[in-house]
Amino acid sequence: MRNLSLTLALAALLAAGFTSIGVAQDLVLYFNFEEGSGDTAMDGSGNGNHGTLMNGVARTSGPMGGAVQFDGADDFIDAGNSDMFQIANNVTLEAWVNSEDAGPTQFACGTPFDDGAEWDDPWVGQQIGVRGGAMATWVSIAGVDREYDSGSIESGVWTHIAFTFDGDTAISYVNGVEVANNGDRDGETTYGGSPSFVVGVRSKEAMGEFFKGAIDEVALWNGVRTPEQIQADMGGIEPGGAVEPESKLATTWGNLKRDR
């Protein structure tokens, strides 16, 4: 009986592990806004990349518990300018968004190109948001700004948006479904200065194109999430899931053996 349960446990582990074994994926920043009050968004990644709620960001509820509400005028969250945010490629950006008006250009989250006040060229790093009733993806690759408007976003409806870039292909997802796939984008995203990861604004220096509405579950990964993983992330991210699947498998297997 013990052997049977052990076998079943291992089978489940293998089934879970083999779907995602590959390049390590590290959770760099994760805001789930479950702290519920105060001016700090706690980073659940373990990296200490906590955010500061600026200019009156309010608390609300979202698809996964607590969320934050932006006034579209000057509200944003500043997560600081850690070098960890300057990801060249192998990146995943995710968020739940609910825009009051999905027409205007609104940045949801990401790392801008630079920390200057000018609209330099390139001017984006890796950022996602809403524009013209679609998901907007902005990514600078090898010094060229790329902008993709894909899928459908309705005003006042919670929608999950995600973006991955592996150094060749830029993919956008709406509600876990691929809506844009742009290959042959060989190159890296470069950054100027020390840009801060921001939520709800294009950049904290340029200010503007603020998000108007609510946002939840902001995540930045150093690594490319698979479609299956993005769909799972929509239900909330377990920071422990950032462990490299192979080592997690080995560790858990070791624990199973030790517990016998």
Q: Under the rule (CB under 5 A), what is the footprint of Ca ion?
A: 32-33, 55-56, 64-66, 71, 74-75, 216
Shortest distance in whole angstroms from residue 31 CB to Ca ion: 8
Q: Residue number with the shortest CB distance to Ca ion?
A: 56
Of 74 and 120, nearer to Ca ion (C-beta) is: 74
CA dihedral 191, 193, 194, 198 (to 10 degrees): -60
For tokens 């624990």, the residue is: 255
According to DSSP, the residues that pair with 64 across neighbouring strands are: none
Shortest distance in whole angstroms from residue 85 CB to Ca ion: 21
Shortest distance in whole angstroms from residue 34 CB to Ca ion: 5
**Distance in angstroms (rounded) separating the CA atoms of residues 132 and 173:** 16
Burial 73-90 (b: 16+ CB within 10 A, else e): eebbbbbbbbebbbbebb
DSSP-derived secondary structure letter, 196: P
Shortest distance in whole angstroms from residue 99 CB to Ca ion: 16
Of 31 and 221, nearer to Ca ion (C-beta) is: 31
DSSP-derived secondary structure letter, 114: B
